[in-house]
Every structure is written in structure tokens, then in C-alpha cells.
Structure 1
Amino acid sequence: VLEDEYPDAWWMPGSPPQLIVLEDEYPDAWWMPGSPPQLIVTTGALHRLTDHQLGAVLTHERGHARARHDWLLHLSTALATGFPRIPLFAHFCDQTHRLVELAADDTASRRCGHLTTALALIELNQHRGVLSCASSHRLLGERVDRLLEPPPRLGRRHRALTTTTAALVPLLPLLIVFAPGLTALS
């Protein structure tokens, strides 16, 4: 049924769609990397989410798969675990997790809308009581707030200036290296 309603909800080049529905009243959905990758959705999520919210959840998970977020998460976790006395790696791991979730939220909100994606997050996590919690689940509240009040987009001129600056910055070391030679030629 889900594959008929959301034919492109789980697609990755070179691999067949894999959607697994688990019988569980606990509402949840996640992506399992591998060959072939698999999207797992519980029956609790199917009962709790509207069709549009389910589409947002599937698009969110597809965003993780297409961007290969599992590689980033494995790398950051390996660094944090392998070098536990270096706080920078633990911070890198936390921020990597945060950023991949925000990126997948952006993917879902572009396709399904900010409000629908926020409501899907709330529905999947409401039973956990984590939206008001100030501990490690603070990220969920941040994600919902960000979806409900997205930051304003940069103007076209500002984007062009930023892109030009970013393209020219790598040339700065070359200018420093060759500047004495160029001044000697003059």
C-alpha cells in the first residue's frame, strides 16, 4: 500500500526500493543503510500519522539515504569513540548528528511543507514527552521550532556575493606565494 501511495518515497540509484513495516504500536520510522538500504516504519506510525505526515517522514528518511548521512555519522562516532580524551571529536559527533537531522528536515519541508514536517515530528515523538525536556532531546524542540519559523532566505545579491567570495578565497594562498615574483616582474 505504501509503495503505491509513495512510489518515490524510498529510492536510491542502483538499488531496489525496500520498505519494511514492523508490527509495533510504538510510532517510529528509521533508515537502515546497507545493501539494499531499508526504510523501516512501524504500524504505530502508520496509525498515528496522516498521509501527508507519513510522506514527510518518508521524504526525511530518503534525504538521509541520498546524502549518505550514515557515512558522516560513522566517521564522527569513530573519531569520538577512538579518541575519547579529545573533546573536539565528541563535539564534532554531536554537531554531525544535529546537522544531518536538520538537513533531512529541510529535504522533507521543501517537498511536504514546513508545518506538515513539524507535525510529523511531533506526532512521532509526542508519547516520549521530549519536546519540553532540556536534556539530550533538546534537538527535537530546536528542529520543530526551526520548521515552524524558518530563517529568512538570503537575497539574490547576498547569495551571489557569498558564492563569489567562497570561490575566490582558495586563490588567496596562491596570491601570497606568487606576489613577490609578480612584484619583481613589474
Structure 2
Amino acid sequence: MDGSARMWISAIPSLDPDYRAVILDLDHTSSDPAERMAGVLLNRGHEGEEGVFYLLPHDLWARYERTGDRLAVSLLTYRSLLADDLTSHPAELRAHLDGLPRDPLDEDRVVLVRRETVTDFEPAERDGFRQPVALIGHGRGPVSLAELLGLFEKLEVGVAVVAAPEPPPA
């Protein structure tokens, strides 16, 4: 499955069957080191509803971008924060930190994951933030949305809610 196949606009029925959200699949066993690094940052979460972790906006955040009929979501963090979190992880993973793409809006930040899909969905906005992105993390390899939600129902995945602040004006 390519990256775009791992982003969906859907409800998570057991959380709120009427709330459509952007869902990103994060495989902790991915061959992509940046995706595994995003998984490392999920350990910084603070529990909200049972089993749902919220990340502070300066730890890991999402950015929405629209180009025509395509909606893209990127996950970003500060390079220094990620470097600190990676100190207890294998050198093989840490070696990829310098190769991560820089955020075009701030060279101190890196883009970990970028996914896009064709959709007319527009994330809601409130108080300078677009609606958060749901990250569903697991170690099962490529899965479909139905499989991912099934794993969630069985409590075999983790869910983190990532804020999506509007970027500052250029």
C-alpha cells in the first residue's frame, strides 16, 4: 500500500459514529524510519477518554494542505525534540534523523509523514485550529480501514489525537 492508501476520512464508530475525522494509519513496524519515528513521539501522549491519547501541539502536530481535489496531511515535529526522544532507540533509527525533510515554514521542524487523498472533505476550524487528526498506531503491516477499525474495537491499536494549528502567515 502506498502512503495515500493509509489516510481515510471516516468516523471511528466506538468513539463517535457521527463525527467524521481524518484518520492516519501508523505502522510501528514500517520499513519507513520516519513513520517509526512518529510512533516514538506517540509515547509523549496524555490520556483523555479511555484509551485515547492527546499530544501537545509542540510535540507532534498535523498540517492540512489542499491542492485541487486532493487533501494532504503532514505530521511535523521539532528536530531537537525528536533527537532527544530517539536517544534510547537503536542507532539505525537515529541515523535517519538528518535525512528527514525540513518543514518549509521553519527549518527547526521536520516532516515525518505526508499522506494525501482525493476528497471534498474540509476539516472544521475553531480558534485557529483545524479539527485534529486521529492517528491509529499498530504493528500489523498494511491494513484496510475496516481492518484498522476492527483492531481498534478489539483494543489492539493505540489512538492519538493530534492538533492541527493553522500555520503562521508567511
Q: Which protein has greater RCO, CA pairs closer than 8 Å, 6+ apart?
A: 2
Normalized per residue, the structure richer in helix is 1
TM-score (ref. length: structure 2): 0.30
Normalized per residue, the structure richer in strand is 2
